[in-house]
Amino acid sequence: MRSPVPPTLRARLTLGLVVLLAVCCAAVGVAAVVELKGVLTERLDQQLAEGGTRFPASLTHAGPPPSEHEAEEAEDEEEEEHGDTRRQSTGTFGARLRNGAVVDVAVVRSTGSSSVPLTEADVRRLAAIPTDGRGHTVDLSALDDYRVMAAPGVDGDVLVTGLPWEPVEAPVHRLELVAGIVFGAALTCTGVAGAFWVRWSLRPLNRVAATATRVSKLTLASGEVALPARVPESDPRSEVGRVAGAFNRMLGHVEDALTQRHASQERLRSFAADASHELRTPVATVRGHAELALLHPGSVPPEVTRALERIVAESGRMGAMVDDLLLLARLDAGRPLEALPVDLTRMVLDAVTDARAAGPAHHWELDLPEEPVTVTGDELRLQQVVCNLLANARAHTPAGTKVTVGLEADGAGAVVKVHDDGPGVPEEAQPGLFERFTRADRSTKDAGGGAGLGLSIVAAVVKAHGGSVHVESTPGATTFTVRLPWGTV
């Protein structure tokens, strides 16, 4: 359900201003109407009191008042005179009641007085008027609303005098109409002027919001970040000025932190690149000397031979790790990759053939489209992506696991999927699976497993090609999905 409150602060302030003014106008209007009605009613009651019961007391007709039909006939034939109408204003009403029944009733006209047809309801209303000498409002069917006053007569009857309620109602209704028009115009003008005033007053806050919006659209996760210009600070004594000043100070702190982080990342990348580059030569030298020692024609003890073989193996693994670190450093530095046509179909086929030779205990299957799938990219790096995914499936699943490699093309690009029915990736390890030096199974460290750089290289290479990679894993089903766009790198 949509909230009736406007979403913006400007609209809320304007609405609040208009509502408060409307409440004040309503209070003033109600007070003025009530006061005017009270004054006019008091004046009408005073006229009734001054007139007294002279007119109803002068009614001498006996018997009940005429019916509506008889009164109409009397008016058509001639105007019948009832009571003493001297010094009585037009519309004065008079009635005599005895034992709750109306015995005489008349109203003063401009040419005299005449009888008034009363219904049973009218009679009950007149009989219910207390004889307290105070004014009361009644609704007579033939005369509309009247202000009447009842007083006891000399012979035990009740004399009722009344004046029309219209002199009170007309000014009150006119005041209500005028107040409604004036207050409505005032509210409209106030709403329009208030909206412009609030908008002008909130301009500094709008600048803060605009700057915050621009900052929220920046990519702050990595790389050098250029924050937008600061918000122009206004009067620091105002709330908006304090917000602008605090926001500018916060941006300054954020910019300093991002600058220091970027400098630290650059130093770390430079160190990784330099260290990797410098380590390649000594690692290759150690491996070369170990291989040379193994080729010695003389007699070598078995323990020495085993040690030299381990040196060759570990130096080879260290060399591969150094190459991986150097590749990641180059990708982090934004080194451009080749942008040549790459036949993914042939690449996947060759990679599965190599994986079948390296892991004959696994069951390898291919799911390739009929037509070749070609993208633009760096063939060597893309081949490394596919090989790393297959090596990851081979290393982290037991013998007999079925690994299916699929390739398909959609409207956005090519999709490579590597699916296995192994034990799966633990749920707690999935969020950081593509981070560096991360292994879902720590036990592989002691079993000669990798350094945890394979999947991070996959993510970095795919990102450099403008693609994406993600994993979906449950016990018995793990799928790595790589999406590569058709366009150039």
Tokens 């047809």 -> residue: 117
Q: Can you tell me the distance from the alpha carbon of 346 to that of 355, in angstroms, rounded to the nearest whole number?
A: 14
Residues ≥6 apart with Cβ < 8 Å to 231 = 204, 207, 208, 211, 244, 247, 248
Per DSSP, 113 falls in state E
Tens-place pLDDT, residues 57-103 = 887 644 444 445 544 544 444 344 556 677 778 888 888 888 888 88
- Which amino acid does the sequence have at 304? V
Contacts of 71 (CB under 8 A, 6+ apart): 114, 115, 116, 117
CA 192 to chain CA centroid, Å, is 26
Specify the pLDDT at position 181: 92
User: What is the pLDDT of the chain when averaged over all its residues?
Assistant: 80
Share of the chain above pLDDT 90, in %: 16
**pLDDT one-digit tens code per residue, 40-54:** 999 988 888 888 888
The band of 445, judged by pLDDT with boundaries at 50, 70 and 90, is very low
Domain 218-335, CATH number (from 1.10.3470, 1.10.287, 1.10.8, 1.25.40): 1.10.287
- Rounded (10°) angle between helices 302-332 and 239-294: 150
Query: Where along the chain do its domains lie?
Result: 1-50+167-201, 52-164, 218-335, 340-485
The whole-number pLDDT of residue 70 equals 46
Fold of 340-485: Heat Shock Protein 90 (3.30.565)
pLDDT class of 487 with cuts at 50, 70, 90: low
pLDDT tens, residue by residue, 381-390: 899 899 989 9
Which residues, 6 or more positions from 479, have their beta carbon under 8 angstroms from its beta carbon? 417, 418, 419, 471, 472, 473
**Residue at 289: amino acid letter:** H
Do 80 and 115 meet the contact criterion of CB atoms below 8 Å apart? yes
The pLDDT of residue 370 is 86
Say how far apart CA 270 and CA 382 lie, in whole Å. Answer: 24
Are 55 and 78 in contact by the 8 Å Cβ rule? The answer is no
Burial label, 60 (beta-carbon count in 10 A; 0-12, 13-18, 19+): exposed
Q: Token pair of 359, please?
A: 């892991």
> What span, in angstroms and rounded, lies between the C-alpha atoms of 393 and 455?
11
pLDDT at residue number 209: 77
pLDDT given at position 39: 92
Edge-first strand order for the sheet with 402-409 is: 363-367, 402-409, 413-420, 477-485, 468-474
**Do 171 and 40 contact (CB within 8 A), yes or no?**
yes
Instruction: Report yes or no: 438 and 432 within 8 Å, Cβ to Cβ.
Output: yes
Q: What are phi and psi of 430, to 5 degrees?
A: -65, -40
Q: Would the pLDDT of 294 be above 60?
A: yes
pLDDT band at 403 (very low <50, low <70, confident <90, very high): very high
- Hey, is 92 helix, strand or coil? coil
pLDDT (mean) for 345-357? 91
pLDDT in tens, 218-235: 676 665 666 667 777 666
Q: How far from 346 is each of 93, 392, 417, 484, CA to CA, in Å?
A: 113, 20, 15, 16
Least confident of 13-17, 187-191, 315-319: 315-319
- Looking up tokens 């030299």 gives 308
Burial code of 369-380, b = ≥16 C-beta within 10 A, e = fewer?
eeeebebbbbbe
The 10s digit of each residue's pLDDT in 269-280 is 666 666 666 666
Q: Average pLDDT for residues 332-358, to the nearest whole number?
A: 86
CA-based torsion, 461, 463, 465, 467: positive or negative: positive
> What pLDDT is attached to residue 325?
72
Place of tokens 């209070």: 27
- pLDDT confidence of residue 237: 74
Instruction: Give the per-residue pLDDT at 27.
Output: 92
- For the segment 10-16, the average pLDDT, to the nearest whole number, is 82
Say how far apart CA 248 and CA 250 lie, in whole Å: 5
Judge whether residue 245 has pLDDT over 70: yes
Give 423's contacts (C-beta < 8 A, 6+ positions apart): 397, 398, 475, 476
The answer to whether the CB of 51 falls within 8 A of the CB of 91 is no
- Please write the tens of the pLDDT for every residue from 132-176: 888 898 988 888 888 999 988 877 888 988 899 888 888 989 998
Identify the helix (H) or strand (E) that includes residue 101. strand 101-109
Residue 26 CB neighbour total at 10 angstroms: 12
Of residues 374, 369, 345, 386, the one with CA closest to residue 487 = 374
At 63 the pLDDT is 42
Higher pLDDT, 361 or 282: 361
Comparing C-alpha atoms, which of 180, 136, 152 is closest to residue 33? 180
pLDDT on residue 215: 74
Range among 47-61, 122-136, 252-266, 276-290 with highest mean pLDDT value: 122-136
Residue 315: HSE in the Cβ half-sphere, 13 Å Cα cutoff:
19
Work out the pLDDT band at 416, boundaries 50, 70, 90: very high
DSSP classification of residue 64: P
Are domains 218-335 and 340-485 of this chain identical in fold? no
Q: Would you state the pLDDT for residue 447?
A: 44
What tokens does 479 get? 């799928």
**Structure tokens of 239?**
């709330």
